[in-house]
Amino acid sequence: MKRRLAFALAVLLLCGLPFGAACAAGEAPQPTDDGGRIETELISGYVPSEPGGVGTDEDYHGESAQSKTTTKTLLRRYYDADGHLDWMVALTATFRYTGLGATCTEVRKTCRIYDGAWRLTASNATKSGNHAAASFTLSCTVTGVAVKTTDVTLDLYCDRSGTVSTEPQSAGLTLSFLSQWLNAVQTLLRRLFQL
């Protein structure tokens, strides 16, 4: 009986490695000071085509694709007080995950302008570990004078099971966690064979 109980506990420990949880894919529209709103959406795949915009895929950093990969795009759209879409920015990232860790292998940023008063003045995209990021600075000008400047930062993180989120995720199992886990399994197996 004790041997069966010890064996069952060992199996539970082996199967009980945490593999992350899904996170929210989008946010509710956020009102802006000028009466407009910003909508944020996390989708699978690449930036969808939208009519009428001037697009710039300015930066792309990538490696060759591997098995067990996932590609997600985080979109942020700005609508003015009249409900017209003025601009859209996006961060697209591909992550490779193994069950023990995750790495961003490709990142790209996209900006599309739909209202001629707006222009993109600066942008950047980076990847590091399981994190991809893009930043944008957009300006609205009236008769050549900038009347509004907006800074947008987009972040995507992937956990070891391939779940992508806008919130920081652990890149993988740490060595200390694995060491503690292996010690616990060894202790249970010793007890199992001593019974």
Confidence of residue 1 (pLDDT cuts 50, 70, 90): low
Q: What is the DSSP letter of 46?
A: S
The predicted structure's pLDDT at residue 49 = 73
Q: What is the DSSP letter of 63?
A: -
Mean pLDDT of the chain, nearest integer: 79
Provide CB contacts within 8 A for 135, sequence distance 6+.
122, 123, 124, 151, 152, 153, 154
Percent of the chain's residues with pLDDT above 90: 44
Classify strands 37-44 and 54-62 as parallel, antiparallel or unpaired.
unpaired
Reduced to 3 states (helix: H, G, I; strand: E, B; else coil), residue 175 is helix
Which two structure tokens, joined as six digits, stand for 102? 């995750």
Pairwise CA distance, residues 87 & 79, whole Å: 7
User: pLDDT by residue (tens digit) across 55-70?
Assistant: 665 555 555 444 589 9
**pTM reported for the whole predicted model:** 0.66
The predicted structure's pLDDT at residue 61 = 55
